[in-house]
Amino acid sequence: MVEVVKSTFAEQYPLIIEAIKDCDFIALDTEFTGLSVDSEMKPSLFDDGALRYQKLRETASKITMCQLGLSIFSKTSKDNQYEAKTFNFYLYPCSGYGPVDSRFVCQASSLKFLCRYDFDFNKFIYEGVSYVNEVEEKQIRDHIDVASRIGLERDIDENALQKICSIVANWIVNSEEEVKKLQKEDMEKIPTFLLNCELRTRFPNIRTTVNKIEKCIEIKKVSAEERLDLETTEVEDEKLYQQNTIEKCLGFARIFRIMKQYKKGLESTELLQFTSLGQVYTDLESDVGRDLVIHPPTVVHAEGFDRYHNKMVVHEAGFDAYMCGFVFLRIAHILTFKDTPSTDVIPCMFRRYLQSLDDYVNKINVIRASVNNINIGGNDDVSTRPELLYVRSSMLKYKLNIDQLAKWFSPYGSVDVKPLTSSRALVACGNYRCSKDILQAFRRHQYIRITKYSIWKHSPVVRGILWSGVIITSGILAYSLLPKSKNS
């Protein structure tokens, strides 16, 4: 595994891009600062594909990704062997460029979970690789463009900025030195780009350049004629600097766009319908797992990426991404040859696996919902969950207690309860056995009556529409039976 942080991102970027271009598939895993923003966003057996997607989208827009694992798998020259290059990124949202200053929710239980697995919060905040979305990128580009031409209102310490400008003005007038360097500690924490633009605007008889190696701004005295001659070069330098600034803000988004361009990203978790990723990895990596189908592909860590060799680091995004890719490859092999006689099973190219996975393309596994997966490329599959159950109070003054209902029903299996009124509720069951057992157990209950839900019998809206139709029809019929007027 190679760890990637802000200070090493530029160095590792070419290696990552090269690995992506040449690979067969990529596995991802992420860690977030939370899992749900409020109780309404929690998974529920009442969720269909559209509602679950909406919940996930709402949650993802309010929490932030703090770590991402990228495990890149390539077939080697050896038969039936794949090599994994795993990168573990610490990520932190871009901030401090114009209007872009992300806000996100932290969930206490999620932070405790990360602490339990030794997540480094200092690296997350101080060394997290930047990233932005397309809307934020446009805002940054507009901000830089306007700032470079006319300047703008800034959220900075204007007194600190004036102090720096006074120092530069004093140097121009009183010092015989041709070049002055503003070191990082001299910049009063003002963004380098903004300070560079401000100095050029205020002082026409200087030329400023950003020295990336020494991380300082170099200021050189020039005449008005020299400054004019340098304008063309400065424009090119400014464009290059602006592009570098934008790329710095984009950060990990650049890698994601390359993955999108080469269409190498695949998620193994969409194939899993049982237990946890760690347990599935352990099972498939065991002797029994290797014998499920003969000639399973082997996976080795590439040279220089061997931190995970003979070592499990669960809930570190990089290792979880590696497990995802490993499980994906093994399950792809099992699915490809599941109906093939053992004598005909042979090592094969990765593209043959892809042909066996057509049924899973664009399907995202979801837990605790009315559907097993969300199909982002078409219509969701028909739900295989049992019908909803309808609960009503059997006593006039007895109000339903949702927590009590959940406590009564949960011993029979996975359930969710949704109140309709103070005396009526719906129950979603995880499987048919659970639904059947609840109906049987509460058939003669003292306080509640429970039946299978019927939209025609139990929906107030549908019943209201039906009764309205009955009243209108009756009115028309009665009118038609009235005696005709003599004048008619």
Kindly give the pairing relationship between strand 95-97 and strand 100-101.
antiparallel
> Do residues 448 and 400 make contact, with C-beta atoms less than 8 angstroms apart?
yes
Q: What is the 3-state secondary structure (H, E, C) of 336-394?
A: HHCCCCHHHCCCCCHHHHHHHCHHHCCEEECCCCCCCEEECCCCCCCCCCCCCEEEEEC
> Tokens for 67?
């770590």
- pLDDT number for residue 472: 62
Q: Is 122 helix (H, G, I), strand (E, B) or coil?
A: helix
pLDDT tens figures, 7-20? 999 999 999 999 99
- Percent of the chain residues past pLDDT 90, beyond the cut: 28
| pLDDT tier at 224, thresholds 50, 70, 90 | confident
Range with the poorest average pLDDT among 169-173, 253-257, 338-342: 338-342
Q: For each of the domains in the chain, give its residue range(s) and CATH number, in order of start.
A: 2-131+254-365 (3.30.420.10), 148-244 (3.30.1370), 389-467 (3.30.70.330)
User: Which of the pair, 134 or 153, is modelled with greater confidence?
Assistant: 134
Q: Is 28 helix (H, G, I), strand (E, B) or coil?
A: strand
- Beta-sheet strand order (sheet of 216-221): 179-182, 216-221, 206-211
Range with the poorest average pLDDT among 136-150, 337-351, 455-469: 455-469
Rounded to an integer, the average pLDDT of 240-268 is 76
Residues 6 or more apart from 13 whose CB is under 8 A from it? 254, 255
> Do residues 192 and 155 make contact, with C-beta atoms less than 8 angstroms apart?
no
CA separation for the pair 227, 232 (Å, rounded):
10
> Tokens for 256?
């994601």
Return the amino acid letter for 338: K
Segments of 197-354 assigned E as strands? 206-211, 216-221, 298-301
Please give the torsion angle defined by the CA atoms of residues 141, 145, 151 and 156, in that order, rounded to the nearest 10 degrees.
Answer: 20
User: Which of the pair, 462 or 47, is modelled with greater confidence?
Assistant: 47
- pLDDT number for residue 383: 84
The pLDDT of residue 466 is above 70: no
> What burial class does residue 379 get, using C-beta atoms within 10 Å of its C-beta: 0-12 exposed, 13-18 middle, 19+ buried?
exposed
